[in-house]
Every structure is written in C-alpha cells, then in structure tokens.
Amino acid sequence: MTTIPSAFAHVAAASQRLVGLGDARVRVPTGSLASLTTVGEEVAPEAVGLSDAKINKILADLDGLYRSGAHPGITFCLRKGGKVVLNRAIGHARGNAPSDAHDAEKILISPETPVCLFSASKAVTAILAHKLAEEGGIDLDAPVARYWPAFGRRGKALITVRDVLSHRAGIPGIELDKAERTVERLNDWDWICDRIANSKVGRLRMVAYHAITGGFVLGELIQRVTGKTLVEYHEEKLRKPLGMKHFTYGLPQQHRGVVAENAVAGMPVMFPLAPVVERALIVPFNEVVRASNTDAFMDAVIPAGNIYATAEETSRFFQMLLDGGVWNGKVILKNETIARAVKPVGYPIPDATLLLPMHYSEGMMMGGPMSLYGPFTTGAYGHLGFMNILGWADPKRDISCALLVTGKAILGPHLVPWMKLLTTIGTQCK
C-alpha cells in the first residue's frame, strides 16, 4: 500500500520539477537567519538526554524549511520528557508575504505570536467530546440523533458519535449552492447545523475526511448536552486548567494586532487539485486564505478549524495527553479517556476526501511505519492543519511537538524540507 510520506514524495518530486512555473515565495535572506529568529524559554538539551549536535540538526532543518520560501512565518516547539527544549520562531508575522510590497512594514513572528491551527483544531474538539463522554454526558456508541433529533433526517439515524469522531459518518461535506459557498457562512452556527441536519448521508462507515462537518456536529452535541456554549465548555475543561493565554476558538479583538497573517504561497492550486480542495474546504483555496485574515473569521467559532494558539501552547496540549491527562499535578482527563481517544480505528486506507491513505483514531491522525510525523512513528498521534501545520505527541520518543506555519501551499519546494525536518526530529529524539 502507498504510504502517506511516499505519496507526498511523489507530489514533492513533481512540484520540484515545476518550481518556477508560477510558484509564489517569500523573500528569504541568503545569509544568516539570526536577525529573523527569536527564541523563547528553553532548557539545555542535556537536561532531557539530548545533545547540542542533535538539536543543531533539527534547527538546521527548521532553517531549511524557512529557506524554501513557502512560509512568511514559522513557530516551532519541541518538548522532550515534558520539558521545552526548543521554542523558536523564524520570519515575519506580517509584511513579507509573496503578495506584499517590498517596502511593506515587516513585523517579526515570535514564540508568543498566536497562529491559526486550522484543522489541527479538530484534535482539541475531539478531546472535548471525549471529556463529555468521560463525564457521562454522551455515549460514544449512541446515535447522534439521540441528542440532536433533527440530525437523524435523510438516512442519518444510525450515525454514532464514534462515526463522527473517526471520519466515518458519511457526511464529509455540506450540500450548498454555489452562492452559499463563502467562509463568512461559517460564522452562522445555527444555519450550518441546520444544513448538516438536512444533508443526505453518503456511504456510512466509509473513511472520508470531514473537514468542516464533524466539528460542528461535535460542537452542537456538547452545547445541547451541557447547556453551555462550546467556548464555555472549552474554557472550563481545557483552556483554563492548562493555563493558556490563547488556545481560543477565534481570536479576541485585543490580540488581533499581533496575530500571524496567513498567505498564499507555492504553486497555484489548479485542476485536478482545485476541485478536490474546494470539495473539502467548501470554498476555493485562495478564498480560505483571504478570509482567514478577516475579523469575520476571528469572530467565528469553527470547531474544526479556527483555534488560535502559540506553538508552545499546542505542544502543551499534546504533552498533557502524553502525561495521561495530568498537567501541573491536576487531572484534566482520565488516562483511559486518552487511551480511547488515541486508539487506532481500523487500518490505513485511502481516504475518499483527501485521496491519500489515512489512519484515524476517534479524533486523531495516527502515526505508523511511515506517516505524517515521519518514519517509524507507530503510536504517535496528532493532527494536520491547513496546509503544513502539525501538532503531535510521540510516546515512544517522549516528545510533544507543534510546527505552525503561515504559508498556505500544496505544491512547491517546501515539501521536501518539511518531510526532512519531521524525519530529523524523529531520528534525533529516539
């Protein structure tokens, strides 16, 4: 079976051959990146059983990813043994996108800069659903319609909460007219949920990535069962206990002046990729990127796609899972709840939405012999975000990581250094 990295490798090789045919890149200095790099609080490598040489190899590949020109800004956090050994940022939060003028004001990105996690938000929403199950509020084997009766329309009566968590609910998309395909529609919670409730089921139990729908279904369940908004439940169960400054659905007005802006980069998204991307995201690729920098997007609560966090906060979340649900001595989740959330479902098979072999748990994208997290990462779990954002934990290496990038590119010269960085992290942290 074709593995995820080998599939990426074919795409990467093709994109490398096409470099120069309209690829959009940020301006990268030819010399040292020291003036573009900021460092957060870190422990010495020796404190976690690593060496300067190992860390320097990771940093060299992090620099290599930035030099690909696909990302105006990159933030990265690596915890080993629960301690932050790397907390770095390279590039700009704004002012150096491929479309920006040469004389645009450039603001450096830092480890404190909030970045939109996009689909990596799904891991957080899934854990909130598992928390509600832990508390007895929902039964994961029960039909969604038990808690949301209207959802059972048009053949969806048998869809369970587990089906939604594992991208097997048969509702990977929303039936929308062309005029309705706008990102701004995602700010209308009741309208979206009504359209989901009135959607016809596709192939139940077929693996098909639910880019938008699954998050709204889980969020609606949480709100119906608890009587709280998703934001309130998240604040109570995760964000406040973890001591987060950001880690919010959407972004409060007071933090928008420092948020990292997203930018279109890489090669233009054209046929045959364009319709595949639009089917998953509801709207065209470039429109998603444009809208993600607007107040309307930051005002919205999109359970599957708009948590804002720093790399350190994202790593902190995965570290809590790695530590069996405990943070600073406080039990946030039961260990058995986490074990259930990260247990693989089925086997790696081609995903009908992403058209790549994928392996899911009930809320996470799973590692394997070759996976999103690099080679030999069986047991790792986490989630990918639009397009090269990653948050993950690897129990065998005792690491929790977050790689947040602001360039949005599918094809381009960034794919090879992206995969190289992930491979290096794995080999140096064994």
Q: Kind and range of the H or E element at 350? A: strand 349-350
Residue in the structure block whose two tokens are 């994109």: 15
Residue 95 lies in a domain: yes
Residue 57 lies in a domain: yes
Sequence-separated (6 or more) residues with CB below 8 Å from residue 374 = 5, 419, 422, 423, 425, 426, 427
Residue 65 lies in a domain: yes
Alpha-carbon span 109 to 418, nearest angstrom: 19
Residue 124 lies in a domain: no
Work out how many domains the chain is built from and give that number. Answer: 1
pLDDT of 216 reads 97
Alpha-carbon span 313 to 146, nearest angstrom: 35
pLDDT digits (tens, 9 = 90+) for 250-286: 999 999 999 999 999 987 776 566 666 666 667 788 8
Question: What is the pTM assigned to this prediction?
Answer: 0.93
CATH number at residue 72: 3.40.710
Alpha-carbon span 399 to 428, nearest angstrom: 11
Domain that holds residue 8: 4-119+244-279+310-327+374-428
Residue 216 lies in a domain: no
Summarize the confidence of residues 375-394 as an average pLDDT. 96
Residue 218 lies in a domain: no
Structure token digits, residue 102: 């040469």
Q: What are phi and psi of 423, to 5 degrees?
A: -65, -45
Residue 101 lies in a domain: yes
pLDDT digits (tens, 9 = 90+) for 187-197: 899 999 999 99
Cis preceding-peptide flag for 320 (omega within 30 of 0)? no
Sequence-separated (6 or more) residues with CB below 8 Å from residue 78 = 58, 84, 85, 86, 87, 315, 399, 400, 401, 425, 429
Q: Which of 34-38, 276-280, 419-423 has the lowest mean pLDDT?
A: 276-280
Residue 212 lies in a domain: no
Summarize the confidence of residues 13-41 as an average pLDDT. 77
Residue in the structure block whose two tokens are 């002046």: 257
